[in-house]
Structure 1
Amino acid sequence: MEQMKQQKGEFIMTQLTYQKNGDYFIPEITLDEQPEGTLTKYGLMRKEYLKEYKGGTYSGLLLSNKLKEHLLQIQQQAEERLEVLMEQMKKSEGITEELKAENQMLWVQKMNNIQHSAEEIVLTELIYS
Structure 2
Amino acid sequence: MSQLLFCEINYTLVGDYYIPNIALPEENRPIGRWGRLHRDYLEQHHPIRFNDLVLSGQLWTYLADLNEQAQERLSLIVEQMKASEGVTEKLKAADQMAWVGAMNSIRNRAEEIVKSELIYK
- Give me the TM-score of the superposition, normalised by structure 2: 0.84
Residue 61 (structure 1) aligns with: 53
Residue 44 (structure 1) aligns with: 36
Structure 1 residues 85 and 5, CA gap change in structure 2 (3 angstroms): same
CA RMSD of aligned residues (A): 2.4
Gaps of 5+ in 1: 9-13, 19-26
Q: After the TM superposition, which residues 74-85 of structure 1 pair with which residues of structure 2 at under 5 Å, given as runs?
A: 74-85=66-77
**SS where residue 99 of structure 1 aligns?**
helix
CA distance in 2 between partners of 1:40 and 1:58 (Å):
17
Q: Which has the larger radius of gyration?
A: 1
**SS where residue 5 of structure 1 aligns?**
strand
Q: CA deviation at 1:6?
A: 6.9
Q: What is the aligned residue count? A: 114
Gaps of 5+ in 2: none
| Bigger fraction of residues in helix | 2
CA distance in 2 between partners of 1:123 and 1:44 (Å):
12
* Structure 1 consecutive aligned stretches of length 4 or more whose deviation exceeds 6 Å: none
